Chains A and B, each alone.
Chain A
Amino acid sequence: MPINTIDGYTFTVNDEGFFTNREEWSEPLAEILAGLVGIDDLTEAHWAALRFMRDDQAKTGMTPTLRRMQTQGKFDVKELFTLFPGKPAKKMSYLAGLPKPVGCV
């Protein structure tokens, strides 16, 4: 498995670049990674989504899907697309230090 090192942070990722160990994530690291996916600044609204994802994943063992963000987290999907432009599901899982949501086999 590839290991990434950025600004002194070291974390293991899978072939697609997603974290394989959620414990290797931290808030300051997320701030740095945000720049890499085209988000200049993580606002409180960004953090609300990322925190929900981490809490939920800790409970269920699975990265929440957009549907779950909507039904359980009461997030507005359209707003998530504005906050994390392009591919919100992937960007959010990446920034939350979680595997990409599967929901799909």
Chain B
Amino acid sequence: MSQVLILGAGTAGTMLANMLVKALPPDADITVVDKDDAHDYQPGYLFIPFGTSTPERVRKSRKAQLSPKVRLVMGTIQRVDPEARTVTLDNATLDYDWLIIATGTTPRPDMTDGLTDDRVWRKSAFDFYTLDGATALAKALKDFKGGKLLVHVTEMPIKCPVAPLEFVLLADDYFRHRRMRHLVDISYVTPLDGAFTKPVASKRLGGLLKDRSIRLVTDFAIERVDPEKRTINAYDGRALPFDLLVTVPTNMGAQFVTDSGLGDDLGFVPVDPKTLASTRYERVFAVGDASNIPTSKAGSVAHFAVHVFVENFAQAYAGKPMTHAFDGHANCFIESGRGKAMLLDFNYDTEPLTGVFPAPAVGPFSLLKESRLNHLGKLAFEQVYWQILLPGHPLPVPTLMTMAGKVPAEKTKEA
């Protein structure tokens, strides 16, 4: 009997544990560690500030999402010793034969000077990447009387890189409905040279911001927040004043990854992008946001990756070579406000595609174009998440990217 230890029972860890129950021999011991019993549907955080979702609605028991054959250990992970094959928690030490790191990424407002200063933090400066932050922001938005709103990304990579764009578009909607849009000066502030990382999508999304009278501030490398003057200051000398700052803080891997010498500069685990095996240690893997693979950090990616990973892992477990390769497939709905959404679909080698996404039974969704159906797709994702993704059921969407129905963007004039 072999001990398979999964660190983190979030999106990737839960999905993986449930799928391994079926993929590994029945005597495999599958254990998952997480610090508490609260599993959040993180995409729901986006809607809490606007009052269209609630803290109660996004949170469920972790244990309830796991197969009864999976053991859940509660504790805070402090260190991994890949030589001795042990993991130290605050309350126990566990041995493993196979280790899979799925501890995701954590927003770190403390990495920006001045941001967590009492004069601004959770008073005029908020994040929405945590449940506490999103909940506090809901109140701040409700009480907002107008002025300068900055929606800001600190540095890349961040999980769900489209979420701040969605936020700014939904904020435009929100103030319009409250008939006070003319009182709010909205800017989108990014360290990138355009609205998004992928050139084609950047153009589309940049156009959308302009249509909604949202200013775009690019190449903004933040040095610090000035809590006295209430400005964000860039290394190049620019200072932008705010009445309300909504920031996505630096996203880092879990602290124990760094402390155990397993991470890169940001605490992400270097892995082979095709097999997700650690480039440094045998029998160590990283899935979901915790790895350094060059694609978006998103639940959809975790889903596609885990499906390929399970087949490989079952081979490795049986002492055979791994023959499957993940291609970096990512797709995500971008909520663009006014009851519409767009869909992005790309992988390691292919830029986001236009055309339609061929999803039998649920599609077609328009790629990179706003539509009402896409918006409904985004809403349906919540049910799909709890009922299909986490239990590890197959989705009616292929795991590796297929080109059917899609048009590479260079080839379309105006899709």
Q: Do A and B come from one complex?
A: yes
Residues facing B in A56-70 (CB within 8 A) are 65-68
A88 to B193 CA separation, bound complex (whole angstroms): 12
* Interface assignment of B211: CB less than 8 Å from any CB of chain A: no
Give which listed residue, B161, B223, B295, B296, contacts A78 with CB less than 8 A: B223
- Given A66-B221, A71-B265, answer yes or no on A104-B192 (Cβ-Cβ < 8 Å): yes
Q: In this assembly, does B294 line the interface, its C-beta being within 8 Å of a C-beta of chain A?
A: yes
How far does the alpha carbon of A77 sit from the alpha carbon of B73 in the complex, in Å? 42
Q: Which of A65, A81, A105 makes the CB contact (< 8 A) with B295?
A: A105
Residue of A nearest to B155 (CB): A67
For residue B156, CB closer than 8 A to chain A, the reply is yes
B82 at the A/B interface (Cβ < 8 Å)?
Answer: no
Number of A-B contacts (CB under 8 A): 46
Specify which of A86, A87, A102 is in contact with B294 (CB 8 Å cutoff).
A102
Q: How far is the CA of A104 from the CA of B158 in the complex (A)?
A: 8
CB distance from B61 to the nearest CB of A (A): 32
Indicate whether B74 reaches chain A with its CB closer than 8 angstroms: no
> With A and B bound together, what is the CA distance between A103 and B235 in angstroms?
19
- Assess whether B97 is interfacial by the CB under 8 Å rule: no
Which A residues touch B330, using CB under 8 A? Answer: 105
- List chain B residues, Cβ under 8 A from A65: 155, 265
Say whether B294 contacts A67, CB under 8 Å. Answer: no
Q: Which residues of B contact A103 (CB under 8 A)?
A: 155-157
- Which A residues, 1 to 56, have Cβ-Cβ distances below 8 Å to chain B? 15
Report the nearest B residue to A102, measured CB to CB.
B294
Q: A66-B221, A71-B265, A78-B223 are in contact. Are A105 and B235 (CB under 8 A)?
A: no
User: What is the bound-complex CA distance between A65 and B193, given in angstroms?
Assistant: 14
Q: In the bound complex, how far is the Cα of B354 from the Cα of A73, in angstroms?
A: 40
Residues from chain B with a CB closer than 8 A to the CB of A89 are: 221
Query: Does B266 lie at the interface of the complex (its beta carbon under 8 Å from any beta carbon of A)?
Result: yes
Give complex CA distance A66, B154 in Å: 13
**Known contacts A66-B221, A104-B156, A81 near B235 by CB under 8 Å:** yes
B interface residues (Cβ-Cβ under 8 A, vs A): 155-157, 161, 192-193, 197-199, 219, 221, 223, 235-236, 265-266, 294-296, 330
19 CB < 8 A contacts A-B: A65-B155, A67-B265, A67-B266, A68-B265, A77-B221, A81-B221, A81-B235, A81-B236, A86-B236, A87-B193, A87-B219, A89-B221, A90-B193, A103-B156, A104-B192, A104-B197, A105-B197, A105-B198, A105-B296
